[in-house]
Structure 1
């Protein structure tokens, strides 16, 4: 069970001490500076300060989104950020815990979007929530974004260790449909990014057609897009223009990330 501390309310070393005092065995995550791992899972209400917003449950790999967007957001307080496909809101909340930004959180599923609202309320955070389809632009007011997070719908093949039912529910025919949806999302959202702005594309997949092959095709057809995914980080392995994390027992899920910059 992996946790993410709310850095607006403390640091992880102090929270680790609180966990130990409460009788929980825990350790610091290897890659995320905000992550801790509980050796034995427990009900969230048994976590010190959970109800008050001190901590959330989030896989370590998912926490790395903030590490990739950090260099784009930290120098621009008040920057305009779009979190497309935002539900259930873990990445939304993490960005707001770390950066003072004007964030629009968008999702096509109204029920899941309500979970984002609940999460932000517990953490004492604020964003504009919008029920809309990110493959369309009828919701957009015409103002460009400084940064975009596209946590794209995917096969979920990287989280099978925690959700083994995916193997039973997912069909081979689903993959081409998801790849086509991811492509449409990339093409629709890219023009909404200001020149010089950055997009992070993320999936919880280990399939190349959803990950490095998807980004390779996007870069080939998008003249003003360049990859800026860092290669000096300690997590994952190079995968085309991005980085691929494979699932690790007792550690993190499988994830793919690519950071792209709009030239101009």
Structure 2
């Protein structure tokens, strides 16, 4: 039996009296029922964009968010949850549909999966979930399919145990992972793969990075407690707090004033490992969204000359936003780390951070669409890009300088194999030791694996230029 997912607490849907008078109501339905159907219809569109169009879940959700905060929360839960369980939901849907849907009607399969997700994983009453999902069929302009969606969901209610058992005979549906990735994870982590798969299918904990230039960690923890937000410190990371329950970032005390940032505990290892020193020139070569950039500046108390680059204006905009909120300064520009340009490759750097583009298999619980969008044949081209970045950036590193290579991947091809090949090519490169408390030692570097209450999956290797 593969991993099971417990039902989270979801806010109940609002009554008609809580809706504005201007909201349109279909004949025979309350405003609440109509809005509930609208959220399900939008969730089906988002899921369909991921399944059929290959869009990222984040982009699909951002395309047309509901105006109401509680509706946005429900939409996010439906979309993220359905993508998280997608292999299992697809296997059940295949059983429920007697014949394949026509190409123009495949969004109905996504709607059915939204309904199934509610019945499997949410605490919304079954009758409300079924009613709103069936009503969403009309909002998707498929009124003739009302009977199909209703009958399919009712059948699942009657035959739930048998349908789930049959679906989980499929390995991908049982483990909620594509078979190619399961094969790679088993080979790379024979003693750990089941636990890391279970963690990758769960919900990510929320970690904070306290800006210790501005406030002590225990003083900020006291502010959280005063706001009835429970948090606990991490023993090896003095700037890190883990929230016992996630909250919206803008509800954190002092968030807008730059006292704290939201950042996974694994990502928070980067700045201390690179250990920037006052007066040094630092390059953050793949900087977006800017969390590690800011942490580097905080780590050196603002006494470094940091250059942050990334591949596009859109990605660099996120770095600008993060640094502006924190009141930090850096030289920021668009740049390709495989092709150094004079604007930013203007002399040696004492330290370089390469947070390389990768398969992102270590952060699947935050981005479950990775399991759908990433393919086995993507890994080799990604590794080639990583190798080109290492080669290009090594020429910019001063003798005696340090380069921290990290990925959010769990796959050796992108991690220790990449570093082994680099060291074989460069006799002026050697590897520096990393803390024994940091994950699992590999042939080269160290690997953090995702865990239920712990950080995401990250790989680190620290190189010295002799």
Q: TM-score, normalised by structure 1?
A: 0.95
Q: Please list every run of 5 or more consecutive structure 2 residues that lacks an aligned counterpart in the other structure.
A: 1-205
Is the 1:241–1:258 Cα contact (8 Å) retained in structure 2? yes
| SS of residue matched to 2:391 | helix
Task: Identify which of 174, 181, 201 aligns with 2:378.
Answer: 174
How far residue 234 of structure 1 moved from its aligned partner, in angstroms, is 1.1
- 1:26-50 deviation per Cα after TM superposition (whole angstroms, max 9, x unaligned): 1112432211011111111110000
Instruction: Answer whether contact 1:229 1:243 (CA < 8 A) is retained.
Output: no
CA distance in 2, matches of 1:60, 1:115: 20
Q: Which moved more, 1:34-43 or 1:144-153?
A: 34-43
1:80-91 alignment runs, 5 A limit: 80-91=281-292
Tell whether the 8 Å contact from 1:229 to 1:260 is kept in structure 2 after alignment.
Answer: no
**Residue equivalent to 2:388:** 184
Q: Distance in 1 between matches of 2:404 and 2:437?
A: 18
* Greater displacement, 148-157 / 129-138: 129-138
Higher strand share: 1
Indicate conservation of the 8 Å contact 2:230/2:243, yes or no. yes
8 Å Cα contact 2:272/2:299 also seen in 1: no
Shift of 1:141: 4.4
Matches within 5 A, 1:107-118: 107-118=310-321
Q: Could you tell me how far apart the structure 1 residues matched to 2:447 and 2:375 are? A: 23
RMSD in angstroms over aligned alpha carbons? 1.0
Match of 1:225 in 2: 429
Is the counterpart of residue 252 in structure 1 residue 452 in structure 2? Answer: no
**Alignment partner of 1:152 is 2:386:** no
Deviations 1:145-165 (A, max 9, x none): 000000000000001122211
- Look up the match of 2:437: 234
Structure (1 or 2) with the larger CA radius of gyration: 2
- Answer 1 or 2: higher relative contact order, Cα 8 Å, separation at least 6: 1
Query: Partners in 1 of 2:345 and 2:239 — Cα distance?
Result: 34
Which segments of structure 1 move beyond 6 Å, counting only runs of 4 or more? none
Match of 1:136 in 2: 339
Corresponding residue for residue 265 of structure 2: 60
| Residues paired across the two proteins, number | 258
- What's the offset of the Cα at 1:142? 3.3
- What residue ranges of structure 1 are gaps of 5+ in the alignment? none
Aligned pairs for 1:195-214 within 5 A? 195-214=399-418
State the TM-score, normalizing by the size of structure 2: 0.55
Measured after TM superposition, the shift of residue 79 of structure 1 is 0.4
